[in-house]
Structure 1
Amino acid sequence: MKISLIQMNSQPDRDLNLRSAEDLMRQAVERDTPHLIVLPEHFDWSGGTTAAKLAAADHAPGGEAYRMLQAFAARQKVWVHGGSLLERTEGSKTYNTTVVFDPQGNEVGRYRKVHLFDIEAPDGKVYRESETVAPGDGLFIYEAHGFRIGCAICYDLRFPRLFDALADAGVDIVILPAAFTMQTGKDHWDVLCRARAIEHQVYFVACGQWGGYTAADGDRRFTYGNSLVCDPWGQIIARAVDQVGIVSTHLDHARVRAVRELIPAASHKVSFTEPVRAPRNCGSGECCNCSSCGSHEQLVGARNSSSGNTAGEP
């Protein structure tokens, strides 16, 4: 399967961003004829004030960003993994949502970002995604061209249990739209992307925003870019340059199988169940009530009987 990643520099201007996304996707189709196109996180809107961001949130289905992606997928007969868009809710917050369309323009499902980016970066800049975004509460996996594809978004990258769950459901590819900050990206992006690919022997597709945008306080903030694809061995097989643009590569079922045959990690997996009380003593032969004796919590390991099963649903 051929895949194209669209690296953007989205701004607090939805019309501009949608035109840019559609133009870049069109260029990818004309140049590389991919089977699947991936957009970055916040492809429809980055930065701006809280009020402007909430006003820009759109309905899914029915909103401008949603309809643009749907129409493009149907017109070009291509899968579209719609990065993430601002999904309007009935409340005072939005969802940060990936929507996936098949080559007929049908929505096959959506993933709402679970882990929200509330941090202080090393340069002192504060990010509080939860002020305007509500967290999702589930996973989403779909199938395209014989691959099982799991979804994640940006800050999710730091939480391995999400990827454990996707691996248990038998994914071959994980796609992560992102808008990683320059500060964190330069130290953590490659390491985490490669680690997730190696841990779960999957293709890891990470499509990022690149360049600057204006935040709510008027401050200029910068995203790391470096959209990339890691193979199941952890090798980076494609990487975008430092500009808006497109990077494409092929994903091969045989490569997934070969890596899993070399190191059959799924069949060696141990699941650790809930703690149980287990007696311990100091080795004197009977409990003497010293600090080494007594009852302690221990996690008990159990072989995962479903390890390696790629047919399970999340």
Structure 2
Amino acid sequence: MKVSLIQMNSQPDVAGNLEQAERLLLQAIDRDRPDLLVLPEHFDWAGGTAHQKVDAADSMPGGKAYRMLQEIAGQHRVWIHGGSLLERIPGERHVFNTSVIFDDSGREVGRYRKIHLFDITAPDGKAYRESATVARGEDLFVYEAHGLRIGCAICYDLRFSRLFDALASQRVDVIVLPAAFTLQTGKDHWEVLCRARAIEFQAYFIACGQWGSYAAANGETRSYYGNSMICDPWGQVVARASDGVGIVTSHIDPQRLRDVRNIIPMTAHREDFPGCRLCHGLKTSHVHA
């Protein structure tokens, strides 16, 4: 399976972000002919105030971002893992941070709503309070494409290994993580965590990030880390985006998965611990395609 990652620089401008995303998606299709396209977290909206964020949320189905992805997937016969977009919750002043996946006929196969919300104060004193506008998701999501089982996560989820242990128990071959990692945390933690998740759960790890600066609330400028990458199940970085907006493409090799799992048969060796509920009761949705 050939995968193209779309590295963006989203702003508090829905129309501009969708134009940027569409241009890059079509460029990747024309240049690389991928089987799966992956967008970053918040490809539709970034920064701005909490009020603007909620007002910018997309309706599903039927919203502008949703329809753009659906149409491109169907017209060009390509799977799209729709990074994450802001999903409107009717009657609520919170939204979901949602990955939506379309198959190569343009059919929605499912959604993953971010579980771990980014509420921290960074080393430079900047506060991030995702839970002020985003409602927490509850379920894991696994889908099948091109003979591979693909698990979903988003950005801050990366730091919580129990989520990936739960996905590994569902025999995933690939994990896709759209992100908008901050420059401060990304430079020290991004690659380490992406490679670790690939190694410990013996899966390809596809991490598609935002890059560059954006305008946050109150005129504050913040920066994304970028460095979108694909790690193989041995933990090697097989593809990485350079600085800037653009596309990085590589292959997912099922034989590489088999080889690594045969060398170190972790699935056979992994022990369950009595009384330990790794996924804290999270349900897992599956889609077979």
User: Is the shorter-chain TM-score for this pair beyond 0.5, marking a shared fold?
Assistant: yes
CA offset at residue 58 of structure 1?
Answer: 1.3
* One-letter amino acid of the counterpart of residue 88, structure 2: R
CA distance in 1, matches of 2:269, 2:177: 26
**Over residues 10-29 of structure 1, what are the superposed CA-to-partner deviations in whole Å (9 max), with x where a residue is unaligned?**
00000000011000000001
CA distance in 2, matches of 1:120, 1:186: 17
> Quick check: 2:198–2:234 contact (8 Å CA) kept in 1?
yes
> Quick check: 2:206–2:229 contact (8 Å CA) kept in 1?
yes
Please show how residues 1-314 of structure 1 align to structure 2 within 5 Å. Answer: 1-90=1-90, 91-274=92-275
CA distance in 1, matches of 2:259, 2:88: 43
**Over residues 57-88 of structure 1, what are the superposed CA-to-partner deviations in whole Å (9 max), with x where a residue is unaligned?**
01111100000000000011000000000000
CA distance in 1, matches of 2:171, 2:60: 28
State the SS of the aligned residue for 1:57.
coil
What are structure 2's unaligned runs of at least 5 residues? 278-284
* One-letter amino acid of the counterpart of residue 103, structure 1: D
State the SS of the aligned residue for 1:58.
coil
CA offset at residue 273 of structure 1?
Answer: 1.7
CA distance in 1, matches of 2:68, 2:286: 30
CA distance in 2, matches of 1:215, 1:181: 12
CA offset at residue 313 of structure 1?
Answer: 5.7
The number of aligned residues is 279
State the SS of the aligned residue for 2:234.
coil
> Quick check: 1:240–1:246 contact (8 Å CA) kept in 2?
yes
CA distance in 2, matches of 1:117, 1:217: 19
State the SS of the aligned residue for 1:186.
helix
CA distance in 2, matches of 1:62, 1:95: 16
* One-letter amino acid of the counterpart of residue 136, structure 1: G
TM-score w.r.t. length of structure 2: 0.95
TM-score w.r.t. length of structure 1: 0.87
CA distance in 1, matches of 2:10, 2:252: 27
> Matched residues, percent identical?
65
Q: CA 1:313–1:19 in structure 2 vs 1: closer, same or farther (change >3 Å)? A: closer
> Quick check: 1:77–1:104 contact (8 Å CA) kept in 2?
yes
Question: In structure 2, what is the equivalent of residue 290 of structure 1?
Answer: none
CA distance in 1, matches of 2:71, 2:180: 25
CA offset at residue 271 of structure 1?
Answer: 1.1
**Over residues 139-173 of structure 1, what are the superposed CA-to-partner deviations in whole Å (9 max), with x where a residue is unaligned?**
00000100000000000000011000100000000
CA distance in 2, matches of 1:190, 1:50: 30
> Quick check: 1:169–1:313 contact (8 Å CA) kept in 2?
no
> Quick check: 1:42–1:179 contact (8 Å CA) kept in 2?
yes
* One-letter amino acid of the counterpart of residue 268, structure 2: S
CA offset at residue 217 of structure 1?
Answer: 1.9
**Over residues 202-258 of structure 1, what are the superposed CA-to-partner deviations in whole Å (9 max), with x where a residue is unaligned?**
000000000000111210000000000000000000000000000000111000000
**Over residues 28-65 of structure 1, what are the superposed CA-to-partner deviations in whole Å (9 max), with x where a residue is unaligned?**
01110000000000000000111111110011111000
**Over residues 249-294 of structure 1, what are the superposed CA-to-partner deviations in whole Å (9 max), with x where a residue is unaligned?**
011100000000000001001111228xxxxxxxxxxxxxxxxxxx
Specify which structure has the bigger relative contact order, considering alpha-carbon pairs within 8 angstroms and separated by 6 or more residues: 2
CA distance in 2, matches of 1:25, 1:177: 15
CA distance in 2, matches of 1:216, 1:60: 26
> Quick check: 2:180–2:209 contact (8 Å CA) kept in 1?
yes
State the SS of the aligned residue for 1:272.
coil
Based on CA coordinates, which of the two structures has the bigger radius of gyration?
1
CA offset at residue 122 of structure 1?
Answer: 0.9
Superposition misfits of 4+ residues, deviation over 6 angstroms: none
CA distance in 1, matches of 2:58, 2:146: 30
> Quick check: 1:142–1:150 contact (8 Å CA) kept in 2?
yes
CA offset at residue 135 of structure 1?
Answer: 0.5
